[in-house]
A and B are shown apart, each in its own frame.
Chain A
């Protein structure tokens, strides 16, 4: 028995260690180095660095673009996860329970499977491609969005979406939501499918309306998925780099209105040659992400609903 166990551990170690090693070299080590670089004035091309202590972090506090980035990432954090999860839940619910089959049977709308595939489609495109496509959509004169508005007589709603500092960030948020809502619809849909039919049918037989079923039965049962989705979407909202870099004026504009932390980091490192300062931004972003993950997972912790 003991020998068997010993062999098992050796097998497990053999399976895990190579992965751990790669992880240490390509994930942990860069992280650790970023922490160290954040305390230096490294330019990115020199082998020589000087330790500047917390100087880079002191600069962050006075950097108007970094503060704008914090604000914008904060706004994205408020809007993108909530909107994506809300839409994802709504669509998943429609696909799974939107229709009615027979008198009490609960079923999805007609063509639900098709919608699942269609909504999932953006997930197959890489973010920069999505950003390029949406740049065309938002084109002030020839874009689809303004074109549709003008075609239906809503000319007064047509805007230079990416050229207006009050709208640009929301245009970016819209793209982030559009690009991720399909994935979360499928995720929530899978969770909803695993809810036993008899539970739902029992609720319907007890006279619960569709909204009540959704709120009182379905949502509590997919709660864990929503929580995980919130963490992932929060990370997405704290990033936003690819879409902003490709799509926005400046990029990051107009006038810093779509600046995000990742963009400032990229600019400082690769345009200004301030890798040390950029690393400090990275460290700040790291702690923000960490805090978000901890808060989301803690705040969402509640007694699990057990089905069996």
Chain B
């Protein structure tokens, strides 16, 4: 039903398709099994240990072929390659396209292609048993937690790939073909473990023709936004809605405004769990701005209970003017959006004149995390697959197939694109180096949940901006004080 929702890099996968096969989704143990297990359970430690008995003995020497100018990573020419991709909104045609290029380069190798949805559930046992595939697209609601994988030493450092010459131009390293922030997005503890294939930008979406018809101009600061909302409301259209069932969507405009007002230092303080970081004035101001939308009745009534599909459908039907979302929205709304709707994305308005970053600053992050497991049978092949995938031809094909910006710079240059993708591309160009990304969502998933919950309450005015900051700060302090949580800094 809602398989389309490319999880952003770093968003806690609390949403998405229902985990029908989840371990607790059955109605629980029956009375008899409970009683019987109780009798035997405690006395059966002999059975225990099975799940954690994966071998940690010496790493098997992975096959490596001759290194040459045409084969800089030393891929063994005839070793099979196993690719596992997430079969979500982007489908898997882009991956099979890259695989056929790979096979063209290594005709002796067979490629085992698997497109699945529950990446985590399918691969967790294979990671434990140290028999993982060679390259994995760790994406979707059921993906494996990256920080956990890294802490367990299950991933290959991708530095070698980044420093290898790109497929298109031997004079340019792979590293230098990527959009800003892509390498940093895949970095944990100073090492690069994932390479994200899509480039996601967050902003506010609206229908260009709808705005033109009413003579509404896209606001570049919050005062103008409130004034416009008043106009929109008078025209009988709800000014805003959000994907209330998943309040994290509303975090995007909130945190983006705060980042613009407070600058990179604010983002850094938040990510580094500094004491009082969430009580910084720009965050409070941004929270106040969002709460004001609700306070002035600018939110579509009932938004707080709408799923992303429901809220976005209401918006596509022209009942609502603005919706916050990432750049996957256009592809996601294909089929439910009437012709001539011509959606475009605008950068989140500035909070005020004193903002440290300019209006065009965008919150951007790469997603669709490709990784190469450390114990893969053919890790060189896995790296080479990524070199092929991140080549401009393969990236361009992806953009054509999915109306989505790949994380390879210039991949869509000269391509005729839809209104949405065109506006996203323009926003990336206008932002230049001014992109911000919060990392706390990837690093501390429980904190992300606390922020989402608080924002949901803020948007329904059940808590004040001050209470919003207080409870998130408390959650951040708890994470900071928890010695069991591995800490990261930027």
Taking residues whose C-beta sits less than 8 angstroms from the other chain, chain A's interface range is: 35 or more
State how many residues of chain B have any CB contact under 8 Å with chain A: 78
A163 located at the interface, meaning its Cβ lies under 8 Å from any Cβ of chain B in the complex: yes
CA distance A128 to B121 in the complex (A): 18
B128 contacts A235, C-beta separation under 8 Å:
no
Contact of B148 among A32, A232, A273, A297 (CB under 8 A): A273
B453 contacts A256, C-beta separation under 8 Å:
yes
- Shortest distance in angstroms between B141's beta carbon and chain A's nearest beta carbon? 9
CA distance A270 to B13 in the complex (A): 9
Least CB separation from B474: chain A residue: A64
Name the B residues within 8 Å of A72 (CB-CB).
Answer: none
Which residues of A139-173 are within 8 A (CB) of B?
A: 139-141, 160-165
A242 contacts B18, C-beta separation under 8 Å:
yes
Contact of A162 among B36, B124, B144, B305 (CB under 8 A): B305
Name the B residues within 8 Å of A265 (CB-CB).
Answer: 23-24
CA distance A169 to B20 in the complex (A): 21
- Chain B 453-490 against A: per-residue CB contact (8 Å), 1 yes, 0 no? 11011001010000000000000000000001000000
Of the stretches A45-53, A85-93, A207-215, the one at the interface is A45-53
CA distance A94 to B457 in the complex (A): 45
Name the A residues within 8 Å of B180 (CB-CB).
Answer: none
| Residues A47 and B41 in contact in the complex (CB < 8 Å), given A163-B305, A242-B25, A255-B453 | no
Of the stretches B46-54, B76-84, B260-268, B269-277, the one at the interface is B46-54
| Residues A250 and B307 in contact in the complex (CB < 8 Å), given A33-B51, A271-B14, A290-B35 | no
A41 contacts B484, C-beta separation under 8 Å:
yes
Of the stretches A8-16, A23-31, A102-110, A195-203, the one at the interface is A23-31
Of the stretches A113-121, A130-138, A184-192, A218-226, the one at the interface is A130-138
Name the A residues within 8 Å of B29 (CB-CB).
Answer: 235, 286, 289
A245 contacts B18, C-beta separation under 8 Å:
yes
CA distance A27 to B446 in the complex (A): 30
- Shortest distance in angstroms between B146's beta carbon and chain A's nearest beta carbon? 9
A32 contacts B35, C-beta separation under 8 Å:
no
B122 located at the interface, meaning its Cβ lies under 8 Å from any Cβ of chain A in the complex: no
B19 contacts A245, C-beta separation under 8 Å:
yes
- Chain A 227-268 against B: per-residue CB contact (8 Å), 1 yes, 0 no? 000011001101101100110111101111000001101110
Which residues of A34-64 are within 8 A (CB) of B?
A: 35-37, 40-49, 55
Name the B residues within 8 Å of A245 (CB-CB).
Answer: 18-19, 22, 25
Contact of A47 among B34, B56, B246, B301 (CB under 8 A): B56
CA distance A138 to B52 in the complex (A): 43
Name the B residues within 8 Å of A163 (CB-CB).
Answer: 244, 302, 304-305, 460
Least CB separation from B148: chain A residue: A273
Contact of A290 among B34, B44, B154 (CB under 8 A): B34
B22 contacts A266, C-beta separation under 8 Å:
yes
Name the B residues within 8 Å of A161 (CB-CB).
Answer: 305
Name the A residues within 8 Å of B13 (CB-CB).
Answer: 271
- Shortest distance in angstroms between B310's beta carbon and chain A's nearest beta carbon? 7
| Residues A127 and B25 in contact in the complex (CB < 8 Å), given A251-B14, A254-B460 | yes
CA distance A271 to B11 in the complex (A): 10
Name the A residues within 8 Å of B59 (CB-CB).
Answer: none
| Residues A131 and B18 in contact in the complex (CB < 8 Å), given A37-B51, A40-B52, A45-B124 | yes
- Shortest distance in angstroms between A33's beta carbon and chain B's nearest beta carbon? 5
| Residues A239 and B24 in contact in the complex (CB < 8 Å), given A37-B51, A270-B142, A273-B147 | yes
CA distance A253 to B454 in the complex (A): 11
Contact of B34 among A24, A162, A250, A289 (CB under 8 A): A289
B34 contacts A255, C-beta separation under 8 Å:
no
B152 contacts A135, C-beta separation under 8 Å:
no
CA distance A48 to B51 in the complex (A): 10
Name the A residues within 8 Å of B127 (CB-CB).
Answer: 45
A293 located at the interface, meaning its Cβ lies under 8 Å from any Cβ of chain B in the complex: yes
Contact of A271 among B37, B50, B124, B145 (CB under 8 A): B145
Which residues of B52-83 are within 8 A (CB) of A?
A: 52-56
Name the A residues within 8 Å of B34 (CB-CB).
Answer: 286, 289-290, 293
Interface pairs (16), CB distance under 8 Å: A24-B47, A28-B40, A28-B41, A31-B37, A37-B48, A127-B25, A138-B305, A141-B314, A160-B302, A231-B31, A235-B29, A235-B30, A242-B22, A251-B245, A263-B24, A266-B19
Query: Which 4 A/B pairs are nearest by Cβ-Cβ distance?
Result: A140-B302, A47-B54, A163-B305, A273-B148
Known: A37-B52, A47-B52. 6 other contacts (CB 8 A): A37-B48, A46-B54, A254-B304, A255-B454, A286-B34, A289-B29
